């Protein structure tokens, strides 16, 4: 069995990569939660030290919490996107084939064939599969399948890696 994907490594693709990476992790490591906790600490410190009325402290608390959370999430996603844009393969078309033999990637003047042991874990989302290895991931969106089906891809990945489902 072989499933082929073809997609372009552009802004939309990397937005999905960033989203899926944070969604598949523990709840505490999700960006809004992380920056919410940081915002909560900052807002508490500022509101507690403010020499104003209780209503003014409450407004200050909410404003700081919201600002830290919103700006933190936005800045993190933007910095990750800038990192991806600097990569030589940004904007290039990529073809990925998964089979019993492994994962074959053909893109931007490079070709590699990786054994399944390279990706010991995977996560199945409603719209694709995230292959995971230490310090690296590969997002395979169902919409990019050109040969095979999402069910075949799921079955193959489940037989070769530790696959879990995230809804």
Average pLDDT value for the chain: 89
Please, what are the domains in the chain? 2-18+92-165 (2.30.29), 24-86 (no CATH)
What pLDDT does 134 receive? 86
Record the tokens describing residue 95, joined without a space: 């073809």
Pairing of strands 128-133, 121-125: antiparallel
Higher per-residue confidence, 107 vs 38: 38
Q: Each residue of 34-75: pLDDT tens digit?
A: 899 999 898 888 888 878 888 888 888 888 999 999 999 999
* DSSP strands (E only) in the chain: 2-8, 93-99, 102-107, 110-114, 121-125, 128-133, 136-141, 145-147, 162-165
Nearest to 46 by CA among 72, 76, 67: 67
What pLDDT does 129 receive? 95
What pLDDT does 107 receive? 80
pLDDT band, very low/low/confident/very high, at 92 (cuts 50, 70, 90): confident
Number of other residues whose CB lies within 10 A of the CB of residue 29: 11
Q: Each residue of 10-31: pLDDT tens digit?
A: 999 999 989 888 888 888 888 8
Whether residue 151 is predicted with pLDDT greater than 90 in this model: the reply is yes
Pairing of strands 145-147, 2-8: antiparallel
What pLDDT does 88 receive? 81
Does residue 102 contact residue 114 with C-beta atoms inside 8 Å?
yes
What pLDDT does 47 receive? 80
Does residue 124 contact residue 157 with C-beta atoms inside 8 Å?
yes
């Amino acid at each position: 069995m072989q499933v082929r994907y073809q997609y372009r490594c552009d802004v939309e693709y990397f937005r999905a990569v960033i989203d899926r990476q944070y969604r598949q992790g523990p709840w505490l490591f999700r960006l809004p939660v992380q920056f919410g906790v940081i915002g909560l600490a900052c807002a508490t410190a500022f509101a507690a030290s403010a020499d104003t009325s209780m209503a003014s402290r409450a407004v200050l608390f909410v404003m700081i919490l919201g600002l830290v959370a919103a700006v933190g999430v936005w800045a993190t996603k933007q910095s990750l996107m800038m990192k991806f844009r600097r990569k030589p393969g940004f904007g290039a078309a990529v073809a990925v084939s998964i089979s019993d033999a492994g994962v074959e990637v053909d893109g931007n003047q490079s070709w590699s064939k990786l054994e399944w042991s390279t990706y010991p874990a995977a996560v199945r989302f409603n719209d694709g599969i995230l292959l995971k290895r230490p310090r690296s991931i590969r997002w395979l969106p169902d919409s990019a399948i050109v040969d095979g089906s999402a069910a075949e891809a799921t079955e193959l990945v489940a037989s070769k890696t530790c696959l879990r489902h995230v809804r």
